[in-house]
Amino acid sequence: MVQTEATIRGNNSAPKLRAEHLGVVFDRDGQALPVLEDINLDVEDSEFVCLVGPSGCGKSTLLNAMAGFLSPTSGSVRIDGEIVTGPDPRRILVFQERGVFPWLTVEGNIGFGLSKLTHAERSQRIAHYVKTVRLEGFENSYPSDLSGGMKQRLQVARALAVNPDILFLDEPFGALDSITRVIMRGELLRIWQTERRTIIFVTHDIDEAVQLADRVVVLSSRPAQIKEVLTIDMAHPRNISSPRYLELRDELLKQIGLAYEI
Amino acid sequence: MNSLAHPRAWERYFWPVVAGALLLALWHYSVVWTGTKVFPSPLNVEKGIAELASKHVLWADIGDSLRRVAIGFGLAVVIGIPLGLWFGWNPAANQTVNPVIQLLRPISPIAWIPVAIIFFGVGDHAAIFLIFLGSLFPILVACVSGVSSVPPIFRDAGRNFGLSTRQLLARVVFPAALPQILIGARIALGIAWLVVVAAEMIAVDSGLGYLVIDSRNSGKRYDLVVAAMLIIGIIGLALDFCFRKLERIKSVRWGFRNAS
């Protein structure tokens, strides 16, 4: 029931995030280098959107522009109708690796954005997110004592702790080994389903996109334009050997321009 | 058979002790064979240390030297770190002052002694000023380079959580640069200990440097000169050892590659 209401509200009201005619041109040694061209995209509240595209196409640039770390050359990004002019604690960017602060413990990292809360609220919030990302027992450990997967969970916990509306994830599992990566996808889905945030997730992994996203946005090679937006009409948990899954994956491979056979 | 790369536990202490003993023997027999009346043998020096230790003046001299280093080095830390953070953070400010810093840096603090005496007269303040000068530059330079090598990802993360520039400097840039700042501060402390001895030979009449020069001037007591030198060496070593302990603190240990 609650979910139906959310869906209805999502469909009728303005989108959570809207990119309009977004363009980014870099200046490389005095030469104009267009990276993004006329990107138009609406993302609904608590939607999970993946951005995929060939390497170097500008996926991360698009994410950085949406997160406010990069001013667009033309067009705009609006969140809740407001034009994005800079980074904001209401939307947190999770980096591929080395994003956690090595001089702080797990608790210190999770509590990093919570200095405005009272001590009691802060420790309660930290305890909650330690549990959410399953780092119990490591509260006082430093990142150097954690595995790569644990560090990424810690980064997600630090982001979630400030209660953001939107999480931007920039290939967050890209530096992990393939087994850990699969486990982390399950963890992220579990967190997303309980916490219900809007997630915009950059990946170069097609399987990752089909396993996670409500919609997959396919970007062309540079200058990136939106080539296709593919809706993944499968409920979670997704059977990754079902015909529908394989069909969607093949469709995505085709969109990116890859052959069916290696 | 043990590999050569892994000496046994007793060997790690045995061979350095043997080397030290051989050196002392060489020193002793050199004095005996040359028949010098001026230079002391190790036994004379040992008696000299005992003589100094039995006098209250030694402990007062050690205290004075340590106090000057603490104040001069402390001032360099308190002024050098914020200044270094600011220069490191503002490339424009850094470009403006960097040529002056690079020009002043290679000047030995000893060369500043006449200037220090003009400014502060003969006394404690001149000595402390020289120690401050000697320790300021290594701290400043380490701090500037530490700040500029903070990964952009940390700054971005800090900005994302809504920190102001001041908060960003205090909560992200400073702790991220701290391992490098500590390395600079350790070098600075070593220099401070070198400078205090030199400054005390000229600008004041107490401290270990004064003890060296006074032992020579009042009766050519070279046994006491060498004894004071050894005490200076031992205290310098102890200071460095204590400072290295700081590198083991967990919030900076990540920045020291070979620390376990």
Specify if A155 maps to a domain. Answer: no
- pLDDT higher than threshold 90 for residue A12: no
Are the Cβ atoms of B161 and A88 closer than 8 angstroms?
A: no
Residue-wise pLDDT tens digits, B128-178: 999 999 999 999 999 999 999 999 999 999 999 999 999 999 999 999 999
For residue A262, what pLDDT band results from cuts at 50, 70 and 90? low
Number of domains in chain A: 1
Beta bridge partners of A94: A169
Residue-wise pLDDT tens digits, A136-154: 999 999 999 999 999 999 9
Across chain B, mean pLDDT equals 91
Question: What is the pairing mode between strands A17-28 and A74-79?
Answer: antiparallel
Are the Cβ atoms of A88 and B251 closer than 8 angstroms?
A: no
For residue B37, what pLDDT band results from cuts at 50, 70 and 90? confident
Beta bridge partners of A166: A91, A198
End-to-end C-alpha distance for chain A, whole angstroms: 46
For residue A96, what pLDDT band results from cuts at 50, 70 and 90? confident
Specify if A102 maps to a domain. Answer: no
Q: Give the Å distances, CA to CA, from B206 to A259, B65, B73, B214.
A: 84, 8, 19, 9
Residue-wise pLDDT tens digits, A107-140: 999 999 999 999 999 999 999 999 989 899 999 9
CA–CA–CA angle B141, B145, B148 (5° rounding) = 145
Amino acid at B234: I
Specify if A39 maps to a domain. Answer: yes
Across chain A, mean pLDDT equals 89
Specify if A2 maps to a domain. Answer: yes
d(CA A169, CA B176): 23
The predicted model scores a pTM of 0.86
Q: Give the Å distances, CA to CA, from B26 to A91, A234, B36.
A: 72, 86, 14
CA–CA–CA angle B26, B30, B36 (5° rounding) = 150
For residue A101, what pLDDT band results from cuts at 50, 70 and 90? very high
- What's the rounded mean pLDDT across residues A33-51? 93
Closest residue of A to B171, CA-based? Answer: A112
Chain A residues close to B154, C-beta within 8 Å = 101
**Contacts of B203-206 spanning 24+ positions with Cβ under 8 A:** B203/B113, B203/B116, B203/B117, B203/B122, B203/B123, B203/B126, B203/B127, B203/B130, B204/B64, B204/B122, B204/B123, B204/B124, B204/B126, B204/B127, B206/B60, B206/B61, B206/B64
- What's the rounded mean pLDDT across residues A191-210? 92
Q: Which of B153, B159, B178 lies at the smallest CB-CB distance from A98?
A: B153
- What's the rounded mean pLDDT across residues B191-207? 92
Count Cβ–Cβ pairs < 8 Å, chain A vs chain B: 53
Q: With residue A157 as reference, give the H or E element that holds it.
A: helix A148-161
SS3 content of chain A, % helix, strand, coil (to 5): 35, 25, 40
ipTM: 0.88
Specify if A34 maps to a domain. Answer: yes
Q: Check residue A46 and give left, alpha or beta (phi > 0: left; psi -120 to 50: alpha).
A: left
Q: Chain B closest CA to A106's CA: distance in Å?
A: 12
Please give the structure tokens belonging to residue A98. 């080395």
Q: Which of B160, B161, B252 lies at the smallest CB-CB distance from A103?
A: B252
Question: What share of chain B has pLDDT > 70, as a percent?
Answer: 97
- pLDDT higher than threshold 50 for residue A1: no
Q: Which of B156, B161, B254 lies at the smallest CB-CB distance from A103?
A: B254
CB A233 within 8 A of CB A213: no
User: Domain range spanning residue A31?
Assistant: 1-90+166-175+197-262
Amino acid at A139: E
d(CA B112, CA B191): 14
Please give the structure tokens belonging to residue A215. 């919609």
Q: Which of B153, B160, B176 lies at the smallest CB-CB distance from A103?
A: B176
Residue-wise pLDDT tens digits, B237-253: 999 999 999 998 888 98
- What's the rounded mean pLDDT across residues B219-228? 89
Chain A residues close to B159, C-beta within 8 Å = 69, 86-87
Specify if A148 maps to a domain. Answer: no
Are the Cβ atoms of B172 and A101 closer than 8 angstroms?
A: yes
Beta strands in A64-211 (DSSP E): 74-79, 82-83, 91-94, 166-170, 198-202
Q: Chain A closest CA to B260's CA: distance in Å?
A: 10
Chain A residues close to B175, C-beta within 8 Å = 101, 103-104
Is B162 an interface residue toward A (CB < 8 Å)? yes
- pLDDT higher than threshold 90 for residue B219: no
Least confident of A84-88, A252-256, B148-152: A252-256
User: Can you say how many angstroms the Cα of residue B245 is from the centroid of all Cα atoms in its chain?
Assistant: 15
Chain A residues close to B258, C-beta within 8 Å = none
Quote the pLDDT of residue A7.
44
d(CA B86, CA A164): 31
Q: What is the dihedral of CA B234, B235, B241, B243, to 10 degrees?
A: -160
For residue A3, what pLDDT band results from cuts at 50, 70 and 90? very low
Quote the pLDDT of residue A8.
42
Chain A residues close to B161, C-beta within 8 Å = 89, 92, 112-113, 162
DSSP state of A260: S
Residue-wise pLDDT tens digits, B54-69: 887 899 999 999 999 9
Residue A234: helix, strand or coil by DSSP?
coil
- What's the rounded mean pLDDT across residues A178-205? 91
Specify if A228 maps to a domain. Answer: yes
User: Can you say how many angstroms the Cα of residue B198 is from the centroid of all Cα atoms in its chain?
Assistant: 13
Instruction: Identify the structural domains of chain B with CATH numbers, from first to last.
Output: 40-253 (1.10.3720.10)
Cis bond upstream, residue A223 (ω within 30): yes
User: Can you say how many angstroms the Cα of residue A54 is from the centroid of all Cα atoms in its chain?
Assistant: 17
- pLDDT higher than threshold 50 for residue B259: no
- pLDDT higher than threshold 70 for residue A259: no
Quote the pLDDT of residue B5.
67
d(CA B238, CA B235): 5
DSSP state of A224: B
- pLDDT higher than threshold 70 for residue A82: yes
d(CA A73, CA A210): 31
CATH code of residue A235: 3.40.50.300
Q: Give the Å distances, CA to CA, from A222 to A74, A136, A219, A254, B189.
A: 16, 43, 9, 18, 53
Are the Cβ atoms of A69 and B161 closer than 8 angstroms?
A: no
d(CA B180, CA B214): 39
Specify if A113 maps to a domain. Answer: no
For residue B220, what pLDDT band results from cuts at 50, 70 and 90? confident
Is B251 an interface residue toward A (CB < 8 Å)? yes
d(CA A166, CA A89): 10
User: Which residues fall within 8 angstroms of residue B53, CB to CB, at 6 or more apart?
Assistant: none
Residue-wise pLDDT tens digits, B82-112: 999 999 999 899 999 999 999 999 999 999 9
